[in-house]
Amino acid sequence: MIYVMSDIHGMYRKYKKMLELIGFSDDDTLYMIGDVIDRGDEPIQILQDMMQRQNVIPLLGNHELMALNALSVISEFIDSSGFLTDESLEFNKDYLLWQMNGCRTTLEGLGKLDTEQRREIIGYMRGFALHKTVSVGKNTFVLVHAGFEDFSKERSFDDYMPDELVWCRHIPDERYSDDDNVFVVTGHTPVQKFTGKPYILHKNNNIFIDCGACMIGGKLACVRLDDFMEYYV
């Protein structure tokens, strides 16, 4: 079976509960479509768990992109409480952007690791894909963190810049394909913004799966592509 989750944002216990709920096994595949880190308390624990599993396929979110941009400069200067040891680096613009977006728990987690472990985590995030296309039965699923900014059918998915794929605000009214068997699965924008409720939203062959795992009243959602079964923790 093939599963998709997004926007776990450091909620390690919800992640573990979800793996249990879906009965995730070595025969299954899980696509994690971005924003594993920041906000919630245990982002590094989730990454470390994912790294051990060959059948978890990670995609980049805007939070991982912010982290990678900032960490390319600051990773050597994090102390065990997640503080930067060289204050001049606080004026680094990538770091400031990341700081405004809830980096604290990720920095704290990285600060507790030794240099080698930290390098492994950063290297792992560098390998995150920008988008994936998955065929399941007669259906095709395009997986991407946020959507395709300035979408055009003439443009190949590989022609988009990372920022366009991880930051844009995909709206339910937009339709990406005329083919009824092609679906676009995104996270990034909590469905509460559209419906007010923490449940996966299907519209125009778009599947919005960010149900706000780290928000009050939010849920971690997971969709099974084989049969569109939905799971919530």
Binding residues vs Mn ion (CB under 5 A):
35, 61-62, 188
Please, which residue, 8 or 84, has the CB nearer to Mn ion? 8
Which residue's Cβ has the minimum distance to Mn ion? 188
> CB of 17: closest distance to Mn ion in angstroms?
22
> CB of 227: closest distance to Mn ion in angstroms?
27
In a 13 Å sphere around the CA of 163, the CA atoms on its Cβ side amount to 1
In a 13 Å sphere around the CA of 192, the CA atoms on its Cβ side amount to 13
Instruction: Tell me the three state secondary structure of residue 52.
Output: coil
> CB of 75: closest distance to Mn ion in angstroms?
21
> CB of 73: closest distance to Mn ion in angstroms?
22
Strands of the 229-232 sheet, one edge to the other = 56-58, 29-32, 2-5, 221-224, 229-232
CA distances from 147 to 12, 83, 220 (A): 25, 33, 19
Q: What is the CB neighbour count within 10 angstroms for residue 228?
A: 13
Please, which residue, 84 or 185, has the CB nearer to Mn ion? 185
Please, which residue, 111 or 212, has the CB nearer to Mn ion? 212
Please, which residue, 35 or 42, has the CB nearer to Mn ion? 35
> DSSP state, 201?
E
Please, which residue, 84 or 191, has the CB nearer to Mn ion? 191
DSSP result, 90-152:
GG-HHHHHHHHTT-HHHHHHHHTS-HHHHHHHHHHHHT-BSEEEEEETTEEEEEESS--TT--
Give the gyration radius of the chain's Cα atoms. Answer: 17
> CB of 21: closest distance to Mn ion in angstroms?
23
Residue keyed to tokens 């805007």: 62
* CA separation for the pair 204, 61 (Å, rounded): 23
CB distance 165 to 130 below 8 Å: yes
> CB of 69: closest distance to Mn ion in angstroms?
14
Please, which residue, 62 or 192, has the CB nearer to Mn ion? 62
Please, which residue, 61 or 198, has the CB nearer to Mn ion? 61
> CB of 143: closest distance to Mn ion in angstroms?
14
Two tokens at 103? 């980096």
